[in-house]
Amino acid sequence: MKKIAGAVLIMTQVLILVSCNKNKVNPPHQSAARAEEVPIDQTKLLNFELRRITSSQFLNKAKTTFGMDFTIDAKLPDDLPKHSLISVGTKGATFSLRDIELYSQAAWEISAAYVASQAFEKHFGSSCGLLSTEQLLAGLKPIAVSLFHGKQENLSSYEQLFLGVKKDLKGQDSQLSPERLNCDGIQAALTSMMLSPKALYFETLSKTDELDDDPSDSFKAEYSRVIANELAYFLWDSPANDTLLKAAEEGKLFDESQRTKIIKDMMKDEARFQNGMKTLFGDWMSIAKLHSVANSTNSQTELAKSAINEFDYLVNESINSDDFITTFLRSNKTKLDQTLADTYGVDVSASILPAEDRSGFLTRSSFLMRGGSGATSPTKRGHFILQHLLCQDIPLPPPELDLSTGLPDDADKYEVIKARLDNSNCSGCHTLLDPIALGLEGYGQNGEVVAFPDLASYELPSMANQQDYQGGVELSDILASDPRVTECFAIHALRIAKGELETRDARNGVKEIVEQFQKGSDKSVDELLYRILKSDLIIEPVEIDNDTKE
């Protein structure tokens, strides 16, 4: 079986490395076509960019396509963030040979599980061993539509792979039964489909050329197909399902009123929407770093696993709340295991944490432990708060800048912090970074409660939004009432949806949306995302030049 997997891997490497290094899919439209009276295929006016799916989207796509859950031993590569976001890092990204090898192993395991499952027999109407070539092709058509983001594709290459694998295996071992040959051939074909560039990348719509006439049905359908997948990966972290693809085929996402209704329906799909929001919140809060700790072997490994589970619980609480930012920053509800209970100093059966110690994300291990083992770092914690909750990006100091002037020789970190605040080369950044997190020094490296230091003796301030505070509960209260946090979430949501940093105009657009959102009574995350999606910040509008219409 290793020879089959190796052959599929080599074929996939060639396909991906040759086909997926270009971001632009459609060439720009040449306006001379109309002057020459050549019929215009309006779909050629749609300009796309390619975006690589993430590892979680790869697994979710397989579950959606094959209609089953599965566990695999293969470890997918880490998605590399850019500007602290995985969603930005995957736009236009390619695969290394090692990436392709790991994805191939995962696809091979998934296809093996599917071929042996009842879901396979239900879909194809037969077990893999008894399936004819005609039955295989008929069953692969809807699978291809799902894997290839709604596109109808010629399946002849996968038919040839299926037949070729059977022939090669028969030549290697004449004792193999026809049923075994059939199943292995099908597994190879499915694996190759999962690894096609059409499955590993999806199109995102960039600025569309202006139409000289009313959009055709084919234009509306193609526009809708691309938008359907963009929305699905953003709201669900998985590709468009059959219902969404059918709506796209009918061109419904081109019409704004129908599109907004579809967006609301997508948010009502509780399981998929919760899954998508877990990914969105996780990208916002860089939870991938905790996953790296959880997948390593060190003193924080087990705690990282526990902290991730509690974070997911807090996200679910937040997205089901009618005031999601307040819940995310102030809720003291929890879901514990023994590791986390010991860290917090509470009974494992507790569902509510002590209100004097815990209040939302900033008082949980999923935030507090990310500085690593060792002494806590107010600077690192402050940098995270500014970047992720207030969207204030603090650049690294220039390499030639003298940062040592006035620093003490001893290892007292509070003396070091004070010296940096007094150093004119350092104070510009550290007056922003340190005070906002110094009040969190009542939590240790893992998030445990520790004795709060005597900051007054060092003349060190702990303040946020020009308010003195002490402890995570007080900080959470200050930030929960700060409209900049909601705006920062919206900005991150826009970045995640688009896979890129926002323009100045887009940032101003977000600010206006959030101001109107804050005036309403519904402060739920779906209401805010609905307002963003209803604007033209994510979905590019199509312009029609009415002056040229006859």
137 with 240, same domain: the answer is: no
472 with 509, same domain: the answer is: no
Q: Name the maximum alpha-carbon separation found in the chain.
A: 83
Question: Is residue 547 scored above 90 in pLDDT?
Answer: no
DSSP assigned state of 456? G
Q: Given this model, what pLDDT does residue 266 score?
A: 97
Three-state DSSP at 91 gives: strand
Give the pLDDT band of residue 33 (cuts 50, 70, 90): very low
Question: Is residue 260 scored above 70 in pLDDT?
Answer: yes
Question: Is residue 65 scored above 80 in pLDDT?
Answer: yes
More confident residue, 41 or 36: 41
Q: Given this model, what pLDDT does residue 425 score?
A: 84
- What's the whole-number mean pLDDT along residues 351-374? 93
Q: How far apart are CA 526 and CA 236, in angstroms?
A: 12
385 with 245, same domain: the answer is: no
Give the pLDDT band of residue 5 (cuts 50, 70, 90): low
516 with 396, same domain: the answer is: no
385 with 505, same domain: the answer is: no
Question: Is residue 205 scored above 70 in pLDDT?
Answer: yes
Q: How far apart are CA 228 and CA 241, in angstroms?
A: 9
Q: Given this model, what pLDDT does residue 265 score?
A: 97
Q: Given this model, what pLDDT does residue 464 score?
A: 92
In a domain, 40, yes or no: no
Question: Is residue 174 scored above 90 in pLDDT?
Answer: no
Which DSSP string corresponds to 298-339? STTHHHHHHHHHHHHHHHHHHHTSSBHHHHHHH--B----HH
In a domain, 86, yes or no: yes
- Phi/psi zone of residue 367: left (φ > 0), alpha (ψ -120 to 50 degrees), beta? alpha
- Which parts of 79-224 are beta strand (E)? 201-205
Q: Given this model, what pLDDT does residue 36 score?
A: 47
Percentage of residues in the chain with pLDDT exceeding 90? Answer: 72
404 with 489, same domain: the answer is: no
Give the pLDDT band of residue 30 (cuts 50, 70, 90): very low
Question: Is residue 14 scored above 60 in pLDDT?
Answer: no
452 with 518, same domain: the answer is: no
Query: In terms of Cα–Cα distance, which of 490, 512, 491, 486 is closest to 501?
Result: 491
Q: Given this model, what pLDDT does residue 29 score?
A: 43
169 with 307, same domain: the answer is: no
Q: Given this model, what pLDDT does residue 485 score?
A: 98
Q: Given this model, what pLDDT does residue 199 score?
A: 95
Give tens-digit pLDDT for 333-344.
Answer: 999 999 999 999
Query: In terms of Cα–Cα distance, which of 238, 235, 243 is closest to 264?
Result: 235
Q: How far apart are CA 127 and CA 136, in angstroms?
A: 11
Q: How far apart are CA 547 and CA 461, in angstroms?
A: 63
Angle value at C-alpha 488, between 521 and 81, nearest 5 degrees: 135
Q: Given this model, what pLDDT does residue 45 score?
A: 73
80 with 188, same domain: the answer is: yes
- Looking at 231, 252, 268, the residue that finishes a domain is 268
Q: Which domain holds residue 249?
A: 217-268
Give tens-digit pLDDT for 265-321.
Answer: 999 999 999 999 999 999 999 999 999 999 888 899 999 999 999 999 999 999 999
Percentage of residues in the chain with pLDDT exceeding 70? Answer: 90
Mean pLDDT is lowest, of 48-52, 55-59, 377-381, 444-448, for 48-52
Question: Is residue 38 scored above 80 in pLDDT?
Answer: no
- What's the whole-number mean pLDDT along residues 4-33? 47
In a domain, 207, yes or no: no
488 with 458, same domain: the answer is: no
In a domain, 225, yes or no: yes
Residues 6+ apart with CB under 8 A from 344: 334, 336, 353, 357, 358, 365, 447, 448, 449
Half-sphere exposure of 1 (CA within 13 A, CB side): 14
Question: Is residue 2 scored above 60 in pLDDT?
Answer: no
More confident residue, 152 or 506: 506
- Looking at 165, 200, 235, the residue that finishes a domain is 200
Q: Given this model, what pLDDT does residue 39 score?
A: 57
Mean pLDDT is lowest, of 32-46, 163-177, 492-506, for 32-46
158 with 68, same domain: the answer is: yes
Query: In terms of Cα–Cα distance, which of 477, 293, 461, 280 is closest to 372?
Result: 293
Question: Is residue 236 scored above 70 in pLDDT?
Answer: yes
> How many domains in the chain?
4
Q: Given this model, what pLDDT does residue 162 score?
A: 94
Q: Which residue has the tokens 């399981």?
A: 271
310 with 181, same domain: the answer is: no
In a domain, 35, yes or no: no
Three-state DSSP at 496 gives: helix
Angle value at C-alpha 122, between 120 and 123, nearest 5 degrees: 65
Give the pLDDT band of residue 405 (cuts 50, 70, 90): low
